[in-house]
Amino acid sequence: MRRKPQVIVVAEDLWDVLAAQVDVNDNAVSRRKTDDLFDWGFIDLSISGVPVLEDLNMLGEAWVVSQSTRAAAKGYQSFFINFDEMYLSANQKRSFKWDPAGWRRPTNMDGQLNYFYIWAQMVQKNRRAQGRIWNQDLDLDYDSWTSGTVTRPEAA
């Protein structure tokens, strides 16, 4: 089983903070390597070889100093995704069916079309293989990290 995630997803503001901490020379070297991520149009920022991608729609708010539960944690979040532990689960009764309305002939095209329905979702078989960090502070300088300053919030 792979213990390292294949991708880390963060909010745009958090990605900018991480990118600002990368040395310019390190960033230039990473841009020259050949990788599928460049073909997809992502800017490659990686931590220990794991690509970090920004999600423009990820929620994030100002860091809350006195947060005590995950429900109260309003800061930025990061998701660590391991695709080896995920699979597609489809509804057997509803999926892979043609639209009951049947084939249609558009008025402005020479041909027919029909819709093919799939009711499916991504599920995981090992919850511990995925990760999530709550309430990240964007203003925290990584030089000021000290041992014992990270606490785990209580479950909501």
Indicate the pLDDT class of residue 127, thresholds 50, 70 and 90: confident
Shared domain check, 62 and 28: yes
pLDDT in tens, 10-66: 888 888 887 777 665 455 445 545 555 444 445 667 777 788 888 877 777 766 666
Shared domain check, 121 and 134: no
Comparing 7-11, 14-18, 81-85, the range with the smallest average pLDDT is 14-18
Residue-range definition of the domain harbouring residue 143: 1-82+130-156
Shared domain check, 77 and 58: yes
Shared domain check, 18 and 55: yes
Bigger pLDDT: 27 or 7? 7
pLDDT at 68: 58
pLDDT at 63: 63
Kindly report the pTM of this predicted structure: 0.59
Shared domain check, 117 and 46: no
- Asked whether residue 133 carries a pLDDT value surpassing 50, the answer given is yes
Shared domain check, 36 and 94: no
Shared domain check, 141 and 108: no
Shared domain check, 64 and 104: no
CA distance 6 to 83: 7
Shared domain check, 57 and 5: yes
Domain count, the chain: 2
Shared domain check, 91 and 78: no
Shared domain check, 135 and 67: yes
CA distance 101 to 123: 31
Shared domain check, 136 and 111: no
